Amino acid sequence: MADVIVVGGGIIGLTAAVRLRERGAEVTVWTPDPPERTVSAIAAAAWYPTRTGFAPRVLRWAEATYAQFRRDAFDRVPGVLMRETRNLERSGATGEPWWAPAAREVRYLPADPPWTREVRFLAPLVEMGTYLPWLRERLLAAGARVVRRRVDRLEEALVEAPVVVNATGLAAGALCGDPDVVPARGQLVLVANLGVYTSVRDEGEPGTYVHPRTRDVVLGGTWQEGDWNTVPDPATRDAILERCRALVPELAGAPVLGEKVGLRPVRRGGARVEAEKWPGGTVVHAYGHGGAGMTLCWGCADEVAAMTL
């Protein structure tokens, strides 16, 4: 019998399982899909607390996650890169962004209209198609179990372990009866990387981003809250390409390799990370990170492990 069952095999579930196993817990992960088929695998996965407001614990999560991925990049963990990043702001803000202490050396430069300033920093970027399977293998090598299993009720897991970590993302809305959980549709385009190495993010509406990986560049994007449609829209694809090529002219001529749609697990009011007593045991909730799952995952995993064991 496991000490803890983690329900959910995306980035939040896998990192929580790693931290729990490091603390000596017997851990089993239940996931209906392999890592490469989770919504985490679709993410651009560039460190930045997208549409996430300040809270002391969120800053701690962001800082711990930044530090872990920076170490991973230094240790050449598969799929982890560090990229110079340019945030082009339009808000007229002059103060330090709330997340800046987590990213350490943040610089501020003037920008030409329509932008009001440029914020530069070095940020982790994770190629999820490589990193998530590596994380799964790390778990297995440490003695954890990963089981392909879909659940209709969290009580199914409480029958087999006294503690359940609910890292079910968008499915948590139905599993917990949480009406604040909604999807935020994100469509992105992949093009060949012909020599782009700097991430660029335009914080206008709709947000536009260019995130170069090893062999391709992720272009986006959209934020369509409440939209469950996972079919790529050709007009949206063309608009993304136009905005991104205008932002980074070096993209002109880069062949289009594909396009993807993912549903970010948003929770109105912010992520839910807390322990709750249920009949038969304890459920530790860890869901609702929206578009910032990669940015907050390791710090959130630390807190989940601390409140679980």
Task: Per residue of the chain (309 residues), give pLDDT as tens.
Answer: 899 999 999 999 999 999 999 999 999 999 999 988 999 999 999 999 999 999 999 999 999 999 999 999 999 999 999 999 999 999 999 999 999 999 989 999 999 999 999 999 999 999 999 999 999 999 999 999 999 999 999 999 999 999 999 999 999 999 999 999 999 999 999 999 999 999 999 988 888 999 999 999 999 999 999 999 999 999 999 999 999 999 999 999 999 999 999 999 999 999 999 999 999 999 999 999 999 999 999 999 999 999 998
Cα–Cα dist 74/80, whole Å: 9
| 73 SS3 class | helix
**pLDDT score recorded for residue 206:** 86
pTM listed for this prediction: 0.97
| Residue 104: per-residue pLDDT | 86
Instruction: Report the pLDDT value the prediction gives residue 205, as an integer from 0 to 100.
Output: 85
CATH superfamily assigned to domain 4-308: NAD(P)-binding Rossmann-like Domain (3.40.50.720)
**What is the reported pLDDT for 265?**
98
Whether 304 and 16 have beta carbons less than 8 Å apart is answered as yes
Q: Where are the domains of the chain?
A: 4-308
* pLDDT value, residue 30: 98
| CA-based nearest residue to 130, from 40, 247, 212 | 40
- Cα distances (angstroms) measured from residue 217 to each of 91, 125, 127, 168: 27, 11, 11, 28
Q: Would you report the helix, strand and coil content of the chain in percent, each value rounded to 5?
A: 35, 30, 35
